[in-house]
Amino acid sequence: MIKTFIIHVSKGYEDRRQHIDTHLPQVGLTDYEYMLRGDIDDLSEEIRHEFFSNDLNLPQMSCLYKHYLVMKKVVDENIPLVLVLEDDALLVPDFVTKLNTYIEEVQGQQGFVVNIEEASNLVPFSVRKPNQNLYLCKTNKLTGGLLYDLEFAKRMVKYLESTVTNAPIDGLIGNERENLQYNIYWTHPPLVRQGSKTGLFASELSGRTAGLYATVRSWFKENYRTHVRSHLSNKQKALFQNIDKY
């Protein structure tokens, strides 16, 4: 089983931990580790000064720092391939089978991150090919579900430890693709949705609230973005064109 980490705030998000502990075993993931370090209370002045600019708010800093701590653990423990999920992840029923298929498509590569989340963005119809699940892309989505290798983790850790960051983790991964020379892949079909985007959970990062109204509003908004804009937007299509593969 692939090494799996869950990005989780240690206090005040017990409903999300209960969700993960119920949901993941249902889809075949039983061996996973929570990243509990890096809560807002853990962000000392020294850490904030070393890692972040004032452009980020505290929840963004905490989320990025938790992802960094996972990457650091991957490097320190020499973990060749890792799955990282955020604690509101909703996984497809045949998650493990599909994930193993996706892993086969990156066999032999080094320096890559595979975004397996939907995030209101699909690979456009015009880009898809038969029997292909991974598509090289110029940017990242959100970070509800990531698969990456040791080499990617090494490059990100080195960068984060030498630079003051002014972008949240999802944007940072997209922004530094050319600079750090790693490949970003989107998947079709995606394997993860975020419960904070469906209205299942409130989100401190985005300001979304939970409940029926939030769920209905989110359903219309996200379905338009996912199933209409993804396929009609020329800007979206251009993300998959003329890309240098590292």
- CATH number of residue 65's parent domain: 3.90.550
Say if 107 falls within a structural domain: yes
Say if 245 falls within a structural domain: no
Q: Report, as an integer, the average pLDDT of 80-87.
A: 98
Say if 246 falls within a structural domain: no
Say if 25 falls within a structural domain: yes
Note down the domain range covering 60.
3-238
Say if 106 falls within a structural domain: yes
Residue 208 has pLDDT above 60, yes or no: no
| % pLDDT > 90, the chain | 78
Residue 201 has pLDDT above 50, yes or no: yes
Higher-confidence residue of 29 and 233: namely 29
Say if 243 falls within a structural domain: no
Residue 245 has pLDDT above 90, yes or no: yes
Average pLDDT of the residues of the chain = 90
Neighbours of 161 (CB within 10 A): 11
Residue 152 has pLDDT above 90, yes or no: yes
Least confident among 21-25, 84-88, 120-124, 202-206: 202-206
Residue 223 has pLDDT above 70, yes or no: no
Residue 28 has pLDDT above 70, yes or no: yes
pLDDT value of position 27: 95
Say if 19 falls within a structural domain: yes
pLDDT value of position 180: 98
Say if 100 falls within a structural domain: yes
CB within 8 Å of 230: residues ≥ 6 apart: 120, 121, 122, 123, 124, 236
Count up the domains in the chain and report the number: 1
Read off φ and ψ for residue 19, nearest 5 degrees. -60, -50
- The CA distance from 12 to 235, in Å, is 39
